[in-house]
Structure 1
Amino acid sequence: MTCYIADSAVFIMGNFDLDSSLMITVPSVADELKSKDAELRFDLAKEEGLRVEWPDPEMVKDVRKMAELTRDSEELSKTDIEILAKALEYRDRGILLTDDYAVQNVAVQLGIDVKPVAQKKIKDIIIWQKQCTGCRKTFDKGDVCPICGSPLKKKRKKSRKEKNRS
């Protein structure tokens, strides 16, 4: 049976009509819910069977490793990493519900099915790099160019079309 790994967007947007007993999330998602409506949707889902589970630490390591490879690690919050780890645990029978493009980018690289909540699904899988705004040299990470001291800006290193897995 398919289960749904719910990112905070599910509770923030509130436009997903799913059986809560098929949904799983991580405890830190609750910390991202700022509106009373989102908190209420989260509480109601818990009453209706939403499972709140801690992510497997080994899966967290795998997610961090992939996020480093795609260079999305700077964009991902603790909650993003945990929700990706939980989705990785359920990869064979789960669908990750998220609107976050960095989360989607890492998820598809890990072989996780993704369904957006209110946004469009990513079309390209992206590997990022940093480029100096001064001397134009490229680097894997950092905020300041070690050569000339100018700021580094995020830039696509390469991308490829996401296979339609729906």
Structure 2
Amino acid sequence: MVYFIADSAVFIMGKDIDPVSIITVSSVVGELRSSEASLRFELALEGGAKVEMPDPVVRRRVLEVAESTRDVEELSATDIDILSKALEYGNDAVLLSDDYAVQNVAQVLGIMVKPVVQKEIRDVLQWQKECTGCRRRFDTGDICQVCGSTLRKRRKRKI
């Protein structure tokens, strides 16, 4: 059986999936702002969707990969949990998410991803920071250590 690991976008946008095959994490509820999205979530639960906690060991692996691609700053705790749950289910899982940072990390982890509404990413990227003042490049931070200007995210390379 194929399991669909559902990010909050599934409930926000109303993706039509058999609830029995849906698995999500509890923190998704906190991302559902509208009453329609909350209702879709409740209906999915009544229809057989499961809410599971991710394995902490698998979660650490996801964080390591997110740090290597430099997507970790863009990912929420829910995103990390969803990625972890999809990695746990391996080849039996399809991760449903419109978040490009989630898709980027999922590709590196070998997780099958399907977008909910947005386009799927074409390339897996690694990111870095560039100073808006002196143009020096850094792996982390928000302020340039040399001139004090702000850093902006830019593509380092395709993986």
Please give the TM-score of this superposition, normalised by the length of structure 1.
Answer: 0.94
Residue 17 of structure 1: CA displacement?
1.9
Aligned to 1:81: 80
Residue 50 of structure 1: CA displacement?
0.3
Q: What secondary structure does 1:155 align onto?
A: strand
User: Which AA in structure 2 matches 1:101?
Assistant: Y
Q: What secondary structure does 2:30 align onto?
A: helix
Residue 46 (str. 1) matches residue 42 (str. 2)? no
- Whole-Å Cα distance in 2 between the matches of residues 157 and 17 of structure 1? 37
Aligned to 1:55: 54
- Whole-Å Cα distance in 2 between the matches of residues 17 and 77 of structure 1? 25
Percent identity reads: 60
Aligned to 2:13: 13
Task: Spell out the pairing of 1:12-161 with structure 2 (5 A cutoff).
Answer: 12-14=12-14, 16-160=15-159
- Whole-Å Cα distance in 1 between the matches of residues 4 and 36 of structure 2? 21
Structure 2 gap ranges (5+):
none
- Whole-Å Cα distance in 2 between the matches of residues 30 and 114 of structure 1? 21
Structure 1 gap ranges (5+):
161-166
- Alignment coverage as a number of residue pairs: 159
Please give the TM-score of this superposition, normalised by the length of structure 2.
Answer: 0.98
- Whole-Å Cα distance in 1 between the matches of residues 30 and 52 of structure 2? 14
Q: What secondary structure does 2:118 align onto?
A: coil
Where is the helix percentage greater, Structure 1 or Structure 2?
A: 2
Q: What secondary structure does 1:83 align onto?
A: helix
Residue 87 of structure 1: CA displacement?
0.6
Query: How much is the aligned-residue C-alpha RMSD, in angstroms?
Result: 0.7
- Whole-Å Cα distance in 2 between the matches of residues 83 and 56 of structure 1? 11
Deviations 1:23-79 (A, max 9, x none): 100000011000000000000000000000000001110111001000001100010
Residue 159 of structure 1: CA displacement?
1.3
- Whole-Å Cα distance in 2 between the matches of residues 128 and 10 of structure 1? 27
Residue 139 of structure 1: CA displacement?
0.5
- Whole-Å Cα distance in 1 between the matches of residues 38 and 133 of structure 2? 45
